[in-house]
Structure 1
Amino acid sequence: MKRPFVIFYALIIYALAELTWWGYMLVHLQPERSAMIMGEGSTFVLVFLVGAISLHKSIKKERRLQDQKRNFLLSVTHELKSPLASIKLLLQTIQKRDLSKQQIQDFIGKSLLDIERLDDMVENMLLASKIDNRSYTFPKAEFNLSALVDNVVNRLQLNKCDLTQQLINAEIEPKIEITGDKFALTSVVTNLIENAIKYSGPCEVVDVRLYSRDNKIFLEVADHGIGISDNEKPRIFDKFYRVGSEDTRNTKGTGLGLYIVKEVLDKHEASIKVRDNDPSGSIFEVVFA
């Protein structure tokens, strides 16, 4: 048990012991008032215990939040270091070696992909900060959601399949119009697809569907990866929440993606739910009413 909890419980035990002793002394000295003393003592103990339990829960919540922030900082450090190291290596190779034009173009393309990854992460952190500070107003206008989803899919799509690349199978109904914050909803689509890619195995297909039905718009992102256990599902939209420890987790991420998704969708009066995919993986379904 950690030191703060040891001190906390020691104080609780001491206070209860003192209360019991003084109650005993009062009853012994004034036996005719024992009923009143016992009643008032019981009320005090009850209030004291309720306060102690509430304080205990607050301390545990704060400790959990601090652990999540620590994991977030570890994750961000890794997320920044990895693409920066990759970009540095690629540029040094271009600078020091006599490469063909095709090789240079290939290295530049890989560098741009890493830069886009860094840009997405920075945008996530900025948007999450603005949401927390309530400084983001979610400006809304009508736009083509089909084009938005198609653009995100094309940006994240990797046409070759090897140990580091993914295939995205998209079924996008054309000309679906929606009124909302285009920037924030771009972040929603990007985070859902990147999350599906992140937790899928190499060469596993990620399915993206956008369609309208009964005056509602549906966006589904399905993967065939590791899936999400039932006890984890209620917490996956919490800020910084990720399964396991950053010291042992192999998947990349900061724990902000799904938090941003839920907050943005709430502002658009849209719903999101997650269910198991068959035979493995998860399906995230967004519904715009």
Structure 2
Amino acid sequence: MRKPFIIFYFLIFYTLAELIWWSVLLVRSQPGRIGMILGELAVFIAIFSVGAYFLHKSINNERRLHQQQKNFLLSVTHELKSPLASIKLYLQTIQKRDLNREQQLNFISKSLVDIERLNDMVENMLIASRIDNSSYTFPKEKFNLSELVQTIVSRLQINKCDCNQQIISADVDPDVEIVGDKFALSSMINNLVENAIKYSGPCEVVEVKLKRKEQSVHLMVADHGIGIADVEKPRIFDKFYRVGNEDTRNTKGTGLGLFIVKHVLDKHDATIKVRDNKPSGSIFEVVFA
């Protein structure tokens, strides 16, 4: 991506040099019109500079998007290979080994967890694509948000910690109902909780709270993980954006989760804020008015 910038800067330098040279020639041939020539030169340079600035910005954005898409493809490839390899191994073991029923059920259960991971990733890509081309209408209905949060928390508790510790601490007010798109909001909650688990250390507790406060509903997901630097916070909701480099990052993900979260909440007139957790980690707070 360096070549377009080299060509771009060369063309700018060449154009300005030619413009100044022709202006000098005009001044020499018509010294009485020097004021008009210099005035027009200044206006042209100003317009040219503004155009060059926006063109440079556009090329830079294109380069950043290209890198993010490259990172996304690398990440998706890894995300697909890992659970597929795991499922294949479990099924081959069941097929080739004489396992008792308890061992078979254990391997089947682990395979189903990996299938859920694949399903979540496919749903994320599907809803992100629909958001991009504005084909998703967000059909809304009244439903029990408390039950949805509890269901997601229960599912994500399974096989997330080798020490059998309950890593998600849920504090959910009963019978909290809202009007919204249940599928999209399910994806939003799932992404927030998955992110909290993903960026936390082994067996670190993730807190999920759902509270009704006067005329609003508050959903909070807090972790004690690596946290988010202040300089990164304005960009974490951008599509494909992930902190660090895809080649060196250990955490899994596609960079779509928080992008989906923000757009889903915008469609529900809800807000989301991220702040530091003490002594470490992050807190995401969603407010439904």
Q: Normalising by the residue count of structure 1, what TM-score does the alignment of the two structures yield?
A: 0.98
Q: Distance in 2 between matches of 1:25 and 1:177?
A: 77
Secondary structure, counterpart of 1:283 in structure 2: strand
Are 1:158 and 1:167, in contact at CA under 8 Å, matched by a contact in 2? Answer: no
Q: Distance in 2 between matches of 1:52 and 1:261?
A: 35
- Say if 1:201 and 1:163 are closer, same or farther in 2 by CA, change over 3 A: farther
Partner of 2:43: 43
Pairs within 5 Å for 1:125-204: 125-158=125-158, 161-162=161-162, 167-204=167-204
State, as a whole percentage, how many aligned pairs show the same letter: 70
Q: Distance in 1 between matches of 2:275 and 2:75?
A: 26
Q: How far does the alpha carbon of each residue in 1:148-191 deviate from its partner, in whole angstroms, 9 at most, with x for none?
A: 00000000013774279861000000000000000000001000
Given residue 158 of structure 1, which amino acid in structure 2 is its aligned partner?
I
Segments of structure 1 that go 5 or more residues without pairing to the other structure are none
Q: Distance in 1 between matches of 2:75 and 2:211?
A: 35
Given residue 220 of structure 1, which amino acid in structure 2 is its aligned partner?
M
Are 1:80 and 1:118, in contact at CA under 8 Å, matched by a contact in 2? Answer: yes
Are 1:201 and 1:225, in contact at CA under 8 Å, matched by a contact in 2? Answer: yes
Partner of 1:20: 20
Are 1:158 and 1:165, in contact at CA under 8 Å, matched by a contact in 2? Answer: no
Partner of 2:101: 101
Pairs within 5 Å for 1:1-289: 2-158=2-158, 161-162=161-162, 167-289=167-289
Residue 251 of structure 1, CA deviation: 0.2
State the aligned residue count: 289
Q: Distance in 1 between matches of 2:271 and 2:112?
A: 34
Residue 17 of structure 1, CA deviation: 0.2
Are 1:226 and 1:281, in contact at CA under 8 Å, matched by a contact in 2? Answer: yes
Q: Distance in 2 between matches of 1:180 and 1:99?
A: 46
- Say if 1:102 and 1:83 are closer, same or farther in 2 by CA, change over 3 A: same
Q: Distance in 2 between matches of 1:159 and 1:259?
A: 26
Q: Distance in 2 between matches of 1:6 and 1:215?
A: 57
- Say if 1:265 and 1:110 are closer, same or farther in 2 by CA, change over 3 A: same
Q: Normalising by the residue count of structure 2, what TM-score does the alignment of the two structures yield?
A: 0.98
Q: Distance in 1 between matches of 2:65 and 2:8?
A: 19
Q: Distance in 2 between matches of 1:185 and 1:161?
A: 26
Q: How far does the alpha carbon of each residue in 1:105-136 deviate from its partner, in whole angstroms, 9 at most, with x for none?
A: 00000000000000000000000000001000
Segments of structure 2 that go 5 or more residues without pairing to the other structure are none
